[in-house]
Structure 1
Amino acid sequence: MIGIDYWRTEWSTFHYNLGWSRWVRFLDGWIAKCAMAVPVVGYLVLFNDGVSQHISFNDLASEHQLSVLSLTASGRLKLIYFGLIILGSANILYRLRRPYIFRVGTDQFDYVERALVHFTVDNYIDLNGVIRHEGHRTLHGKYDDAEFDSFVDAATGRNNPDVGNWNLAKSKFEGLLRSILIETFFRNDVKHRLALTCFLLLAFCGYGLLLIPSFDLFVKVIRVTIRGVT
């Protein structure tokens, strides 16, 4: 029998890894992006009587017969409309609140690879300062301070301006830089979890409202098909 300790471990693992990057496609996929346009054109299109008649599926699903969910064509349109409104709202809030590191990359791999190309030594000095001030969150943040000082010396020629070489230092200390970037991505990815949870619940509601009419229509089509065969 599964005990309390098991569920505590599972919850701790889930909570530790709950980050924005795991839900990018869910909150910022193509459906959510398109849903942002619904408040502008949704009323004119979905609630237009002519449009409603054309997408009522009279022949395909026998719309004159109510389904198991008792939804009419108009009822399905309303669920779709409000589902898209809610989903679009979740997407807008996500874009306003998502971590700033997503401007560089929305997952760890993209962030690290792009940062290695575009970041300067000043960026790494700032990131190192934050890690050392706030403490590390992963094993990647436990790098040696002396190694970082050597990197800065090699990149800027702090002690000898004539020997400073940024490209050579970046190549030599690439492992250190990757550790700093991975630590930085993780610590920002797991910030503001309460906001992330609220946006996820909002998005789940939106997707749920979209699935209800789809399921309803699917059941009606199956029923009509079975009756037609028999």
Structure 2
Amino acid sequence: MSQLTHNWKNYWQMRWSIFSYNYGWSDYVFLFDGWIAKCSMAVPVVGYLILFNDSISQHLSFNTLANENILKFGASPTTRLKLIYFGLIFLGSANILYRLRRPFVFKVGTNQFEYVERALKHFTVSAYIDIHGEIRTEGHHTLHGKYYDSEYDSFLNLALGEKDGRKQRNEATVDWSGARSKYEGLLRSMLIENFFRNNIKKRMSLTICLILSLAGYLLLLVPSADLFVKILVVTLR
């Protein structure tokens, strides 16, 4: 039994280590940047007018569909409306926090594939110089960051021109399109490393976004579940 317990402990330690190493924004962005979260940012303006308008809230019942005037359990129409309102408030807050605190790479793409493809299409050589500097200064996080400096220097010689004896670039030898094509594998490795590096930054903000969004979806689920149960009870009767 002790050996089994030891194996389970090692298994969960390994799983936690993998999770904590890869814990990043791209796996959860769909929760706080989906269409519901985006639309919910308008709730503080229009939702307030609906929530505190008694003439509207009193008519948001399902007496015909769910016999709410007869059933004596579950949430009232007003309670459901409040849950929906606050659920959308939480989702809207998560979306706003995401837009304020998301890593810079998410302005290019919200996942690795999207980021790499757009970057290959639009980035200039100066962007790759900055990325290379960060990788060599901070160290690599993935195997993609273990490329050779000699290959990177060859890329620069083609993208910016060969250096002469005075360390000046010869603009006559510049071939940016050729450099992107010939060294696409190198550029992809640099971009993948850069995306992973930024994806795992600002984890406290990511955790807060997750808590807000999950709380929001839970508050939206409760009214739906309440109405579903009532309709089910009426149907079975």
- The letter of the residue matching 1:95 is R
Partner of 2:157: 153
Whole-Å separation in 2 of the counterparts to 1:168 and 1:67: 74
Partner of 1:89: 93
TM-score normalised by the chain length of structure 1: 0.94
Whole-Å separation in 2 of the counterparts to 1:212 and 1:66: 17
Partner of 1:35: 40
Whole-Å separation in 1 of the counterparts to 2:209 and 2:70: 37
**Is 1:44 paired with 2:23?**
no
Q: Tell me which stretches of 4 or more aligned residues in structure 1 moved more than 3 Å.
A: 65-68
Whole-Å separation in 1 of the counterparts to 2:199 and 2:70: 49
Instruction: Structure 1: give runs of 5+ residues left out of the alignment.
Output: none
Deviation at 1:26, TM superposition (A): 0.7
Partner of 2:197: 187
DSSP-derived class of the 1:218 partner: helix
Partner of 1:104: 108
- The letter of the residue matching 1:119 is F
Pairwise CA RMSD: 1.3
Instruction: Structure 2: give runs of 5+ residues left out of the alignment.
Output: 164-169
- The letter of the residue matching 1:12 is S
Whole-Å separation in 2 of the counterparts to 1:217 and 1:67: 13
- The letter of the residue matching 2:193 is E
Partner of 2:181: 171
- The letter of the residue matching 2:171 is P
Partner of 1:220: 230
- The letter of the residue matching 1:41 is V
Whole-Å separation in 1 of the counterparts to 2:171 and 2:48: 65
Partner of 1:75: 79
Deviation at 1:113, TM superposition (A): 0.7
Contact 1:67 1:216 in 2 (8 A): no
**Is 1:124 paired with 2:128?**
yes
| Paired-residue identity, % | 62
Partner of 1:19: 24
Instruction: Give the aligned length.
Output: 226
Deviations 1:173-214 (A, max 9, x none): 000000000000000001111210111011111111111111
Match of 2:219 among 209, 215, 218: 209
Whole-Å separation in 2 of the counterparts to 1:206 and 1:67: 26
Deviations 1:104-125 (A, max 9, x none): 1111111111111111111101
Contact 2:161 2:173 in 1 (8 A): yes
Whole-Å separation in 1 of the counterparts to 2:172 and 2:43: 60
Partner of 1:6: 11
Whole-Å separation in 2 of the counterparts to 1:82 and 1:89: 10
Deviations 1:117-167 (A, max 9, x none): 111111101100000000000000000001000000111104133211100
Larger mean CA deviation between 165-174 and 53-62 belongs to 53-62
Contact 1:32 1:88 in 2 (8 A): yes
Contact 1:67 1:220 in 2 (8 A): no
Partner of 1:54: 59
Contact 2:60 2:78 in 1 (8 A): no
Contact 1:39 1:85 in 2 (8 A): yes
Whole-Å separation in 1 of the counterparts to 2:72 and 2:65: 13
